[in-house]
Amino acid sequence: MCHTGAHKINNTIGQILLAERLGKTRIIAETGAGQHGVATATVCALRGIECIVYMGEVDIKRQAPNVARMKMLGAEVRPAKSGSRTLKDATNEAIRDWIDNPIDTHYIIGSVVGPHPYPDMVARFQAIISKEIRMQLKEQTGQEIPDHIIACVGGGSNAAGALYHFLNEDDVNFILVEAAGKGIDTDHSAATSVLGTHGVIHGSMTLLMQDEDGQIIEPYSISAGLDYPGIGPLHAHLIKTGRAEVHSATDAEALKAAFELTRTEGIIPALETAHAFAILNERKFENDDVVVINLSGRGDKDLATYISHLDRY
């Protein structure tokens, strides 16, 4: 687990160096769960650069510890008040800020989404995850190549990083887990690969949740980091070509998995990450399969949600 509690710091370190190289003096970012916001605020504190993080009003309420962290790190957290007041709207506001301030400002996007070159660049910065998987796997099993890699997907940055150095390894099976929210058949879901169709969002051509007029449909998930109406174009490609298998986990399944991981391994995962673990209750593996699950974030930020469900698990 990386410093700041998720994989997000891999990307923000790379991008802050890029921003300095470009001579930028002001950083903006969007955040859903606050993990990317904290990672951005952290590198800005480290390098002494002004930092403004856009966050949906709803997410500010449900991810209070991360809001406090960002403020302590010296960042300004600006609420996004349009639309569903979650990740998509925070992204809209960040893009509008960038249009207003193109000269001094660098926009650190937190996932493998947005206009080119962001999906490519963020995937490369996160690729360190799969590089480490190969090294650690070699040490532990004698082989670099696992049978399966499992990761949760909202925009898909942790998944892109976990898959990156295996993209050309045909023997590795990719398992992506989306947030089903209250269920794929309800109006409260974020399972983009099932509910989405081909379109353009935030400068990417990919799968997205939209109506027949191309209006974006507001996604829903208990986890603030997975309720994005699109999916990184790399993942859309892997899913559409059949290279990756895709599953979804509901809010309840993710909560159950979070408590199971906590009680069996002593690790409190982020709600986002818990979706990846939920798949272990559903999908069967062979006894000798080598399965890698990307534990992308820890759950300190989600304690309030977990505590409110403590009596049920």
Partner 1 sequence: MTNNKINRVFEDKNHKVLNIYFTAGYPNLNDTGTIIKKLASAKVDIIELGIPYSDPLADGLTIQESSQKALSNGISLSMVFDQVEEIKNDHKTAIVMMGYYNQFLQYGIDKLIKRIGDSGVDGLIIPDLPMDHYQTHYNSKFEEAGIAISFLITPETSDERIKEADRLTSGFLYVVAQSSITGGVKDVSDQQKKYFERIQNMSLKSPKLIGFGIHNKETFDNACQYAEGAIIGSAFIRNLKEHGTDRVNDFVDKIVNC
Residues that bind partner 1 (CB under 8 A): 82-83, 88, 92, 95-96, 99-103, 199-203, 210, 212-216
Rounded least distance, CB 278 to partner 1, Å: 30
| Residue with smaller CB distance to partner 1, 103 or 310 | 103
Q: Which of 8, 24, 88, 256 is catalytic?
A: 8
Q: Which is closer to partner 1, CB of 127 or CB of 208?
A: 208
Minimum CB separation of residue 265 from partner 1 in Å reads: 40
In the chain, the DSSP E strands lie at: 26-31, 50-56, 76-80, 105-108, 148-152, 173-181, 197-201, 204-208, 244-250, 291-293
Of 157, 189, 193, 296, which one is the catalytic site residue? 296
Task: Name the helix (H) or strand (E) containing 95.
Answer: helix 87-100
Tell me how many helices (H) and strands (E) the chain has. 13, 10
Q: Are 152 and 180 in contact (CB under 8 A)?
A: no
CA gap 268, 259 in Å, rounded: 8
3-state secondary structure (DSSP) of residue 43: helix
Q: What DSSP designation does 69 have?
A: H
* Separation between Cα atoms, residue 136 and residue 252, nearest integer Å: 32
CB of 268 to partner 1, least distance (A): 34
Identify whether 221 is a catalytic site residue.
Answer: no
Nearer to partner 1, 202 or 256 (CB): 202
Enumerate residues 6+ apart whose C-beta is below 8 A from 249: 177, 178, 179, 180, 257, 274, 275, 278, 279, 282
Decide whether 215 or 264 has the Cβ nearer to partner 1: 215
248 included as an active-site residue? no
Question: Which is nearer to partner 1, 2 or 18 (by Cβ)?
Answer: 18
**CA 72/CA 82 separation, integer angstroms:** 26
Tell me how far, at minimum, the Cβ of 102 lies from partner 1, in Å. 5
Nearer to partner 1, 189 or 206 (CB): 206
Decide if 157 is catalytic: no
Rounded to a whole number of angstroms, the minimum distance from the CB of residue 28 to partner 1 is 14
List 102's β-bridge partners, or say none: none
**Catalytic residue among 24, 30, 157, 189, which?**
30
Whether 97 and 18 have beta carbons less than 8 Å apart is answered as no
Residue 253 beta carbon to partner 1: minimum distance, rounded to whole angstroms? 29
Residues taking part in catalysis: 8, 30, 296
